[in-house]
Amino acid sequence: MDEPIPEAELYDAVIDDATLARWVEDLSAFARVDRVMEKGGATRHAGQSTDVRGSVDRLRVGEIRALQAWYRHEGSSWCDTVLAVPGGWRMVRSRLAPDLQ
């Protein structure tokens, strides 16, 4: 019998601008960012890079609608999605299964 697929850890919250800024600093200092994908519209991707700071700056001024940061931290792979919502930023974080790394 095949081994069960481990469930991903999931975090979903609305954060404020100060927490978003700390997230950028933490990723820069403690993680290895593999890629950042920007969402430019309902069906359009705006671009891809490894520049979290630049993507967050574009998100703050409305040039993009959302971003996804794919990164590694303490031996695990993670994907964080950030988008603007009333009163702050919605962040959805999930730890990826080993075969998705």
35-69 burial by CB neighbour count: b if 16+ within 10 A, else e? ebbbbeeeeeebeeeeebeebbebbeeeebbbbbb
Backbone angles phi, psi at 74, to 5 degrees: 50, 45
The pLDDT tens digits of the residues spanning 1-37 come to 455 555 557 889 999 999 999 999 999 999 999 999 9
Indicate the pLDDT class of residue 43, thresholds 50, 70 and 90: low
What pLDDT shows up at residue 7? 54
Per domain, the residue ranges of the chain are 10-100
Q: Output DSSP code: residue 12.
A: E
Q: Does the predicted model carry a pTM greater than 0.95?
A: no
